[in-house]
């Protein structure tokens, strides 16, 4: 068994494939695509994959600061339907990306994405409330590490 979720899913190529598959699904979703109504960074998917990888036990992604990500997602109020649909897109993207059909891995990834979606979007009421230098949360096989 792999030591980290990152290793079990297949490392960098798998995380990048998952980020690409998820991004394609959310852009096609009539509710979630609203979150992408503004232009995104030209390397959004690669940066997203690096951010996810670090949370899941992969290498550090120094170009992506957690406080900046949380600031960008904070202050939008409750959006339960959008969050649920983003998670549903993520679960379906695991197949699109060709991740291993391992129940423990997929359950852990789904739980992580649900937890991370809540933390990024709803932990702070407004962008100004997010402290500088906010540490990136990590996820292990048994949950937040």
List the beta strands (DSSP E) in the chain.
139-140, 143-144
Beta bridge partners of 57: none
Q: What pLDDT is stored for residue 134 in this prediction?
A: 85
Per-residue model confidence (pLDDT) at position 136: 87
- CATH architecture, domain defined by 5-144: Orthogonal Bundle (1.10)
125/123 Cα distance (integer angstroms): 7
Q: Is 99 exposed, middle or buried (0-12, 13-18, 19+ CB in 10 A)?
A: buried
Residue bearing the bigger pLDDT, 130 or 141: 141
The domain limits of the chain are 5-144
- In this prediction, residue 54 has a pLDDT band, given cuts at 50, 70 and 90, of very high
Name the token pair of 41.
Answer: 């960074």
- The residue among 2 and 31 whose pLDDT is bigger is 31
Q: What's the predicted TM-score (pTM) here?
A: 0.90
SS3 category, 96: helix
């Amino acid at each position: 068994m792999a030591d980290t979720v990152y290793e079990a899913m297949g490392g960098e190529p798998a995380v990048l494939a998952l980020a690409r598959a998820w991004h394609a699904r959310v852009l096609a979703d009539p509710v979630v695509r609203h979150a992408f109504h503004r232009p995104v960074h030209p390397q959004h998917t690669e940066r997203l994959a690096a951010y996810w990888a670090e949370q899941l036990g992969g290498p550090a992604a120094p170009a992506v600061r957690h406080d900046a990500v949380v600031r960008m997602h904070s202050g939008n109020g409750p959006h339960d339907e959008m969050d649920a649909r983003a998670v549903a897109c993520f679960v379906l993207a695991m197949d699109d990306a060709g991740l291993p059909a391992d129940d423990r891995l997929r359950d852990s990834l789904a739980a992580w994405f649900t937890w991370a979606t809540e933390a990024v979007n709803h932990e702070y009421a407004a962008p100004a409330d997010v402290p500088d230098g906010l540490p990136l949360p990590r996820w292990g096989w048994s949950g937040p590490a």
